[in-house]
Copies of this chain bind each other. A is one copy, B any other.
Amino acid sequence: MTTSASPRQPATKRGRDTRDAILRAAEEVIGARGFAAASIADITRAAGIAQGTFYIYFDGKEQVFRELVAEMGRFTRRTISEAVVDARDRLEAERIGLRTFLEIAATRPTLYNIVEEARFVDPPSYDAYFTAFARNYARNLGAAAKEGTIRPGDAEIRAWALMGLAVTLGERYGQRNPQADRDAVVAEVFDMLERGLRS
């Protein structure tokens, strides 16, 4: 899953597979039990490797955690970028982006937990995650206002508002309720965002 460069990326395929197995095991264990309760022994057991092998790839639990948060950011941004590539305009792209995000929250609930836990475990990772999203979002909204697809307005405030809405809907109609009708959720929310609530 990790494609962008990240620290100590192993040179061999086997090394990359082992590192990835550690990350997947850490995602599972930390995502399910929380950071404090998850031990490195739990992670290496779940990965099926010796505990010493862990330290070839990571300095400790904190570093694996940071890497998971960064990975979640890259994965989410890439998945959304790929999903919206054929969108006709920014509003359609935002709609597909929200739909894609809700699906990620539903299918990878543990990674979702990890990003939220970063608020307490590793605040700089948490900030970096949301700031990168907001920057992207604001750039796209600014461009859409410039080209006239959406009404003019403060792109940064809009970006944080839309991001907040996505995070809570992802928790409510994705992570905690994988059976939810996410198409209906997105249709309802975009009716509000495109046309407004006022009758």
Contact = CB atoms under 8 A, between A and B. Distances in A.
Nearest to A157: B188
Contacts of A120: 34, 116-117, 120
A160 interface: yes
Nearest to A160: B172
Which of under 10, 10 to 19, 20 to 34, or 35 or more describes the interface residues of A? 35 or more
A185 B162 CA distance: 13
Nearest to A192: B158
B165 A161 contact: yes
A189 B191 CA distance: 15
Grouping DSSP codes into helix (H, G, I), strand (E, B) and loop, the A interface class, with mixed when no group exceeds half, is helix
A194 B195 CA distance: 8
A117 to B, nearest CB: 6
A91 B153 CA distance: 19
A143 interface: no
A185 B158 CA distance: 9
A89 to B, nearest CB: 10
A163 interface: yes
A133 to B, nearest CB: 11
A45 interface: no
Interface of A: 34, 36, 91, 116-117, 119-120, 148-151, 153-154, 157-158, 160-169, 172-173, 184-185, 188-189, 191-199
Given A117-B120, A160-B173, A193-B197, 11 more contacts: A34-B120, A116-B119, A150-B197, A153-B197, A157-B184, A158-B189, A160-B172, A161-B168, A164-B164, A164-B166, A192-B193
